[in-house]
Structure 1
Amino acid sequence: MTTALIGRTRARGIETLSLDSPATRNALTSALVAGLADALADCGKDPDVRAVVLTHTGGTFCAGADLRDPPAPDAYVALLRQIVELPKPVVARVDGHVRAGGLGLLAACDITTASTPSTFAFTEVRIGVAPAVISLPLLPRTDPRALARYYLTGERFDAGEAARIGLLTTAGDDLDVVLAPVLDGLRRSAPQGLAETKRLLTARVLEAFDRDAADLTALSARLFATPQAHEGMTAFLERRDPAWAR
């Protein structure tokens, strides 16, 4: 059941959706992507939902695609676009680690927060692929020089750096304290005002989807089918260095 992978609670108009597959570090599978898409669709239609908080169970927000059961690239792109287009603000609450495709979820959200110990990495290049479809929300919102470094090296970086480059709105030691004024502001804002303001803020991101989604989806599918990607994924699963590592 896909619903078992997404926890749902509500408090004073704020719906919290939790990625709830800690045994797999909330890796993106077809089932998890479908479950999150269904939950977001429910929130979008519910007039009692003022905003959505996207969070997680366990120590990892999302480890990226599950290499044993990855979602179809077009399904993942559709999920990212759904977050961007949702007529309710989506706030990411990260208290752990984010890797690869999980950073696409983060970038698609309107407001992003993380605890100080959280870490981030674009690990695609290390298994022989590229951060293709996640670039749709990332490139319009994040510092291009920083992305060049972290895309090309796969280095891990901390929450302070993530905030500096625009991946995070803010970071702090106590996420409840960090989020309190954000959620209070969203509750005090009119639904119409929130929807139309979000439309203004996401216009450039949606232009990127309209222009580049098909090409980047095709690129992702092509790269995952290559011998280098097969070696990189096998090495990752076997916990060894790939053949090209020096």
Structure 2
Amino acid sequence: MTDAPLVRRHTDRAIEVLTLDSPHNRNALSAALIAELSAALDSADTDPRVRAVLITHTGGTFCAGADLKADGVGSGPKLLVELIRQIAELSKPVVARLNGHARAGGLGLLAACDIAVAGSAATFAFTEVRLGLAASVASIPVLAGTDPRAAARYLLTGEAFDTAEAVRIGLVTAWDESLDGILAGLRASSPQGLAATKEITTAALRQALAAEGDRLALRSRELFESAQAAEGVRAALERRNPPWAI
């Protein structure tokens, strides 16, 4: 008997649909989930029948960020950098569709996608700062595509915000009722045209990854291994405020 997949796949008229299906940990970015998602992206990229990829989710959370319970710190920051790089360098557009919560590193995954749509149940928060951490790796795609003043506010405060605000600041492209039109447009576009256009639209993100990816992955690990972050994570797991919260 094999374990159930963490990423489910099916093809819908040239769109490869990848569903994050790990509700027990709120679709956290465990090493296992990242490996399955990366393999699915590779498969879609080499399949001539696939025009674009759609990443969605089961349950009430799109992605909760790192899975510290399962993996600890480990190689998580580096794995997230590589996943973001893979999405940016994929020859096919990647669309995210969420109608649930996105937190911490899950926002890095969301921001790495070429297009993102969200429903009214979605909420967003960069919770790292409240734990003694920073959204080091996630900040790379976020700052490449989001209003920098708004990004600074939410990265620094950890405030939660809704879909209307996510659309306003550019973290999300549109409300989810736009998804059918977006997918129709991708289906109507040529594979060569999509690949060439994506090279243009992802240039800033690819440059930022080359310049900052390794450094910020290392910085993320350093922060995770600090005493202050250990206390912040422990407080979160125990559902209490850390000592610096006033």
Q: Is the 8 A contact 1:125 1:154 kept in 2?
A: yes
Opposite residue 149 of structure 2, the aligned amino acid is R
Percent identity between the aligned chains? 56
Shift of 1:3: 7.0
Do the aligned residues in 2 keep the contact of 1:6 with 1:17 (CA within 8 Å)?
yes
| 1:135 matched residue in structure 2 | 139
Q: Which residue of 2 aligns with 1:193?
A: 193
In the TM superposition, what are the counterparts of 1:99-114 in structure 2 within 5 Å? 99-114=103-118
Paired position in structure 2 for 1:60: 61
Q: Which amino acid in the other structure matches residue 120 of structure 1? A: F
TM superposition score normalised by structure 1: 0.96
TM-score, normalization by structure 2: 0.96
Relative to structure 1, the CA distance from residue 2 to residue 129 in structure 2 (aligned partners, 3 Å threshold; closer, same or farther) is farther
What per-residue deviation string (whole Å, max 9, x for no partner) do you get for residues 17-52 of structure 1? 011001211011110111101110111111111000
Q: Could you tell me how far apart the structure 2 residues matched to 1:192 and 1:77 are?
A: 26
Q: CA deviation at 1:72?
A: 2.3
Residue segments in structure 2 that go unaligned for 5+ positions in a row: none
User: Is the partner of 1:69 in helix, strand or coil?
Assistant: helix
Contact 1:2 1:31 in 2 (8 A): no
Deviations 1:100-155 (A, max 9, x none): 00000110000100002211000000111000011111111001111111011100
| In 2, Cα distance between equivalents of 1:3 and 1:169 | 32
SS of 1:15's equivalent in the other structure is strand
Match status 1:169 vs 2:170: no
Residue 85 of structure 2 is matched in structure 1 by: 81
- 1:245 is aligned to 245
1:3, 1:188 → 2: CA distance? 34
CA distance in 1, matches of 2:244, 2:46: 49
Deviations 1:78-114 (A, max 9, x none): 0011011110000000011100000001100001000
Contact conserved, 2:235 with 2:242, CA < 8 A, in 1? Answer: yes
Say yes or no: does 1:90 pair with 2:91.
no
- Residue in 2 that maps onto 1:8: 9
Which residue of structure 2 lines up, in the alignment, with residue 18 of structure 1?
A: 19
Specify the SS of the correspondent of 2:5.
helix
Runs of 4+ in 1 over 3 A off after TM superposition: none
CA distance in 2, matches of 1:235, 1:170: 35
Between the two proteins, the alignment pairs up a number of residues equal to 242
- Map of 2:29 onto structure 1: 28
Instruction: Verify the 8 A CA contact 2:62 2:99 in the aligned structure 1.
Output: yes
* Structure 2 Cα separation of the partners of residues 126 and 22 of structure 1: 24
Q: Superposition RMSD on alpha carbons, in Å?
A: 1.2
Q: CA deviation at 1:2?
A: 7.9
Asked if structure 1 preserves the Cα contact closer than 8 Å seen for 2:66 and 2:76, the reply is: no
Deviation at 1:245, TM superposition (A): 1.4
CA displacement, residues 156-209 of structure 1 (integer Å, 9 cap, x when unaligned): 0000000000001001xxx3x421111111001000000000000001110001
State which drifts further: 88-97 or 1-10: 1-10
Distance in 2 of aligned mates of 1:2 and 1:168: 33
Partner AA of 1:47 in structure 2: P
Gap regions ≥5 residues in structure 1? none
